[in-house]
Structures are given as C-alpha cells and as structure tokens.
A and B are shown apart, each in its own frame.
Chain A
Amino acid sequence: MMRKAKVAIIGTGNIGTDILLKLQRSEVLECGLFTGRNPDSIGIKLAKELGIRTSYDSIDAIEREPNCCDIVFDATTASVHKCNAEILKRLNKFTIDLTPAKMGKMCVPVINMEECLNEKNVNLITCGGQATIPIAYAIKEACSNIKYIEIVASIASKSAGTGTRNNIDEFTQTTRDALAHFSGVTNTKAIIVLNSANPPITMRNTIYVICDNPNMHKIIKNVKEMECKIKRYVPGYHLVLEPIYENGRVTTIIEVIGQGDYLPKYSGNLDIITCAAIEIAEKYAITKIMGGKYIE
C-alpha cells in the first residue's frame, strides 16, 4: 500500500465539509488540512472531531506550509478563488476549483477528465452544470442539428450555501457558458431555482433540447449510457424521465440523491460536484503522484 496523497480543502461550508467527509472513504486521498475563515462553522467542528488539522487562516495556512498537500480543493466563492488561484499557481498545487470562478479549464469528468489532469487549475463549473452538461453532451452525440439547449436546476434552499447565494450571478452565467462550451451549441440557457419547501426537495434537473427530427432511439441509448457512467462516481444520479419528444422538444429529467454525508440526501447538488472533485483528485493522485503504481 502506497502512502495516500495529501489534499487540502479551502472553505469549510457545505461543499468543503461534504468533500472532507467523502475523503474518509478514499483509498488514495487523505485530508492534510481543512482551512477556512469561520471558526464557528459546523465543518470545522466536524474536522476537529475527525482529528483533521484545521486552520482559520484560509489560504494563508497553505502558503505558510505548502508541504501539507499536493492537491487543493477550493470550495470558497468565485471572488475568493480569483485571489487564491494566483497563490496556488505559484505554489504549484494541482487545484480543483469548486466555485463558478472559471479561472482554469472547465471539467466534467465523464467528458474531459483525462485532458484536465495536465492542467494546474481545473474548474468544476457548478452543480447544475455537472448534473446537466453530460446529458446535453450525450444528446448532442446523437443529434447533429441542435438549435437550442436549456437546463433548469432546482435545488433545496437549505443546500445552497452562502457561497452559492453570494455568487448566484457567476453560478448562472458559468452554467450557461459551460453548457455552450461542451455542447458546441451557442444558443443555450440555464435557469436556477431555489425552493425553500420543508421537508427539502431533492435536486432535480431538466434538460430541454430543440433539434430537427431527433432520433429518439439513439438519444435514449446515449443518455442511458451516460447515466451509468456518472452513477459510477455519483451513485444517486438517475433518470426520472427518459428523453421524450413532446411539444417539439426533447425533454429529459434527472434527479440526484445525495449520499447524505454532510447534508441529508436531498442535497444531491453537493454530491454531483464533490464526487466529481474527488474523482478527478483520485485520478490525478494515481497517475501523477503515485506514477500509476496504485492498483485499483
């Protein structure tokens, strides 16, 4: 057994804490530092209980002691990441950005993970992006004349943390931009809905596609294959409505049930992005740090 690769997590909110808890199950990664700004956060308390090193100095703690990690997860906010990105570049840390700052290469693991491993800063778009872009991509592969794609991500208010709320603009814009980037369709739209119902709603995503004469058989096949690929790292990802052709559009609905690590299972929006982050980090650790010697 090789030594595990060390990671640091910046940001002790919903996303950061969910990664921390998921890392406890990883056979290749371990958390060397959990650092944020809020001494009263629940995440910091949980980290201490787990015996993880914590700091309230956010990125300064990594700057002081760069050897604490090889990989950094940035789960702060878009504006904070814009500053952090510079520092992490200087420290030569493989950085996985979970904010919608979009400083580095955008990554959806099932689409372009391999090419992202050679980057220094990888951006995970948004939870809505991670949930819907693969479906849009799968439909695009089955359909050459897409005119328009629209996604709607509905998440429980309780699972949208301060970072998401403070950066709702970047969240919406980045999701749309990434949708256009990965699908190759310029005319796209992303809609984000927060629902404060109690008990909270499970994350739901709808993907609408307009194209001429869609080959539904091929589309359904592609989408189902995509669902299986994503399920490998996000177990609660599943189709609620297989692609159907109605009212001149192809409509697909996805639900993401979380593993309930930090927030309860309704927060599939955490899992879809934190699982992607860990997937990339593990792959990077195995290929770049352990030199591929780790045997799965």
Chain B
Amino acid sequence: LSKLRFFDSTLRDGSHAIQHQLTKRNIEDYCQSMDSAGMYTIIVGHGNGLGASSLQVGLSLTSDQEMLQVARKNIDKTKLGAYMIPGFGTINDNIRPAIESGVDLFVIGCHCTEADTTRQYIEYILKEKKEVYGVLMMYHMASTEMILEEAEKIQSYGAKGVIIMDSAGASTPEMVKKTISTLYDGLDIEIGFHSHNNMGMAVANAYTAYKEGASIIDGTLRGFGAGAGNCQLEALVALLEKNGIRTNADLYRMLDTSEQLMPKIMKRDMGIEPLSIISGMSGIFSSFKIHAEKAAKEFNVDARDIIKELGKRKAVGGQEDMIIEIAEQLSNPIKFDNTDYQLSSLL
C-alpha cells in the first residue's frame, strides 16, 4: 500500500466555482457519501478559507461555523480539515472557533514568498494539539530556490508538511518535476501538491508530483474547483491503480459520489465522467461508453463492470456487440465464468 494520502478539497476549492454558495445539504450529502472513501481529510469551507467570506472575494451562503458543524456531524472516519490564509482570518475570530467546531486538521496557506506569515498560526495550532500543514500558493511566481527557502521556513515552524499550490494551473510537467524533486531532497517533512487544470494537466501534474516524492495530493472530486478546476481525484486514483499503485482510496465510492452527487452541487460540469475514467483505465475504445450505459440499464448491471470486462477481453474498435454479451453475462452471475470466456476469446 502506498503512503500517498489524499486531501479532498472538493468542499473548499469547489466553493469558488459556485461563488461560495455551498448549502448545508450539499455538505451533509457529500460528507456522508465520502466519509468511507479513504480520503485522509475532507476540507470544508469558503474557497479562500476561514474568514474569507467578504465583498472582496465573495460572500459565503453558509457561515464558516455552520459549514464546519454540518461536516463534523457527518464525518467520522475522515479528518475534518479547514483552510486559512493569514490576512483573511485571525486566531480569535476564526481558528479558535474552528477548533471548537471540531476541526482536526488545518492547512495554512500564503502567497509563495510569504511563508513567515504562517508562523503564528502553525505554532498556535500545534499548541492546540491539532495537525497542521503549510501551503505555498501561486508557486509558479517564484524561483525553485525561493520555494525551497520558504518551504524550509514552514518546516521550521513545525508543520507536518508543505503543500505546493499551482493556483493558476500554470505548471508544465518539467516545472513540477523540478520543484517537487528539489523539495524532496531538501526537506524532512511531507510534500504535497495541489494542481489546477488550466492547460489540461492537473491530473498529470499531480501524478508527476507523486513520482517525484510528493506524499500528499490535494484535489477535488470531478475536478470541482476554481477556474478550470482541480486535479480530479477519481481520475488520479484510476491512473495510480492502473499503474499498480494501491492507496486507501475507494475508487468506486469516489465514482459513485462523482456521478450521483456532484451534478447536484456543481453549476456546470467540469470534470471527466466516471465511465470515461474507467474506460481509459481499462483501455477501451471511447465510443463504447454510450453503448455500455444503454446495456447497463437494459440488463440492470454496472456499466463500469462492463467496461472493465471489455478491457480484460481486449475488445478493439468495432466490437460493440461484446457489450451486450458481457452485460447479459454480468446480469446472470451463475452462468458467468470469467476464465471460460477468456479462453473462448482466444480460440
């Protein structure tokens, strides 16, 4: 099992995409659905974090406290996380009330050159015996040497890890590789990466970060997040699984939430649909998707299982007839013997 952990920021970064209009119901449903999905933490709140509800960056529909309290009631296995950017909130107005609402873990973010503004908060949170991570936002705006220097400061304040945020989605894979490998060599604490999808690279860049030593990936379900969206966690998990990297994440649970719940929360779709992820993971011709969905409905089976089975049987373009066959077999498990069909397909 890989050491990789997922920070689920769906209910934080996603808040940006709907102008901070998350409802209590959204939070309740999401937390219930994702509590057992193997995320390390579910981070909840305004997109810019605690205390950020404002005319400047947007008013929240639901207050920080209400959001945290609803989330607290609905998660049990996962840690409840909160984000804060110094300059927006304070210990007195925001951190202390958040602790009282049951937050287990804090992430303190700042612009990538301003790490010393996180010190007071990291130290305070440690004193309160809560877990804390530092964040360097907009990392593309500083040199790698500077990022290392700032990350070292965060390390010296006692944070458990430092998360690099590609807030503008401005990363090339080379930039990610250089930054994360430099931090991996230079730091003793954990390194995390949070990507955005402005150039269609969010999942790829997160994967590169992992390969270079990042042990935390901060992303969102369905890529729900500011601007072009984030690293779509369920797509990343599929990619990792395909490469034989096992994590605590429950892919099907994530896909279920992405399919059933996310359309209700999002104003417009931003990510890759669950079945397309499975299709990619299984190496199945993309146009099979709609046929598989139809067959799944007809035979009352899981379309994902059809696609996976198609992958095992190495279907190629033009073999849409296999979909019906598999769907029928899946609906009738007694008749269905995997080995037989694999053998027969070789004949």
| Contacting pair B54 A168 (CB below 8 A) | no
Interface residue? B55 (CB, 8 A): yes
**Contact among A157, A172, A189, A206 for B114, CB-based, below 8 A:** A157
| Contacting pair A150 B55 (CB below 8 A) | yes
CA distance A172 to B54 in the complex (A): 14
Q: Which residue of B lies closest to A167 (CB)?
A: B120
Interface residue? A26 (CB, 8 A): no
| Contacting pair A173 B90 (CB below 8 A) | yes
**Contact among B51, B90, B114, B119 for A194, CB-based, below 8 A:** B114
Interface residue? B88 (CB, 8 A): yes
**Contact among A152, A172, A196, A206 for B86, CB-based, below 8 A:** A172
In the complex with contacts A152-B56, A173-B93, A191-B54, A196-B111 CB distance below 8 A = yes
| Contacting pair B113 A172 (CB below 8 A) | no
What A residues does B283 contact at CB under 8 A? none
Interface residue? B339 (CB, 8 A): no
| Contacting pair A172 B120 (CB below 8 A) | no
| Contacting pair B87 A208 (CB below 8 A) | no
| Contacting pair B117 A165 (CB below 8 A) | yes
Q: Interface on chain A toward B: helix, strand, loop, or mixed SS?
A: strand
Q: Which residue of A lies closest to B89 (CB)?
A: A172
| Contacting pair A192 B87 (CB below 8 A) | yes
| Contacting pair A166 B120 (CB below 8 A) | yes
Q: Interface on chain B toward A: helix, strand, loop, or mixed SS?
A: mixed
CA distance A167 to B117 in the complex (A): 8
| Contacting pair A168 B113 (CB below 8 A) | no
Q: Which residue of B lies closest to A153 (CB)?
A: B87
Q: How many A-B residue pairs have CB under 8 A?
A: 64
What B residues does A114 contact at CB under 8 A? none
CA distance A2 to B340 in the complex (A): 109
| Contacting pair B56 A168 (CB below 8 A) | no
What A residues does B86 contact at CB under 8 A? 168-169, 172, 192
| Contacting pair B87 A194 (CB below 8 A) | yes
Interface residue? B91 (CB, 8 A): yes
Minimum C-beta distance from B156 to chain A (A): 13
Q: Which residue of B lies closest to A164 (CB)?
A: B117
| Contacting pair B56 A157 (CB below 8 A) | no
CA distance A195 to B137 in the complex (A): 12
What A residues does B88 contact at CB under 8 A? 172, 191
| Contacting pair B56 A208 (CB below 8 A) | yes
Interface residue? B345 (CB, 8 A): no
CA distance A189 to B92 in the complex (A): 13
Minimum C-beta distance from B114 to chain A (A): 5
CA distance A157 to B87 in the complex (A): 13
**Contact among B52, B91, B116 for A166, CB-based, below 8 A:** B116
**Contact among A150, A166, A169, A196 for B90, CB-based, below 8 A:** A169
What B residues does A167 contact at CB under 8 A? 120
Interface residue? B207 (CB, 8 A): no
User: Could you tell me which residues of chain A, from 157 to 187, have a CB within 8 Å of some CB in chain B?
Assistant: 157, 162, 165-169, 172-173, 176
What A residues does B110 contact at CB under 8 A? 194
Minimum C-beta distance from B223 to chain A (A): 27
| Contacting pair A166 B119 (CB below 8 A) | yes
In the complex with contacts A176-B93, A191-B54, A249-B55, A165-B116 CB distance below 8 A = yes
- Of the listed residues B87, B110, B114, B119, the one surrounded by the most CB atoms of chain A closer than 10 A to its CB is B87
Minimum C-beta distance from B5 to chain A (A): 28
| Contacting pair B111 A173 (CB below 8 A) | no
| Contacting pair B55 A168 (CB below 8 A) | no
| Contacting pair B56 A191 (CB below 8 A) | yes
CA distance A172 to B90 in the complex (A): 7
CA distance A276 to B51 in the complex (A): 29
| Contacting pair A150 B116 (CB below 8 A) | no
Interface residue? B121 (CB, 8 A): yes
| Contacting pair B93 A168 (CB below 8 A) | no
What B residues does A173 contact at CB under 8 A? 90-93
CA distance A147 to B330 in the complex (A): 62
| Contacting pair A194 B121 (CB below 8 A) | no
CA distance A291 to B86 in the complex (A): 45
Cβ proximity bits B56-71 to A, threshold 8 Å, 1 near / 0 not: 1000000000000000
CA distance A141 to B230 in the complex (A): 46
Minimum C-beta distance from A230 to chain B (A): 23
Known: A172-B90, A176-B93; 12 extra A-B contacts, CB below 8 A, are A148-B55, A150-B55, A150-B56, A152-B56, A162-B116, A165-B116, A166-B119, A166-B120, A191-B88, A194-B87, A196-B142, A206-B56
CB within 8 Å of A: which residues of B?
51-52, 54-56, 86-93, 110-111, 113-114, 116-117, 119-121, 124, 141-142
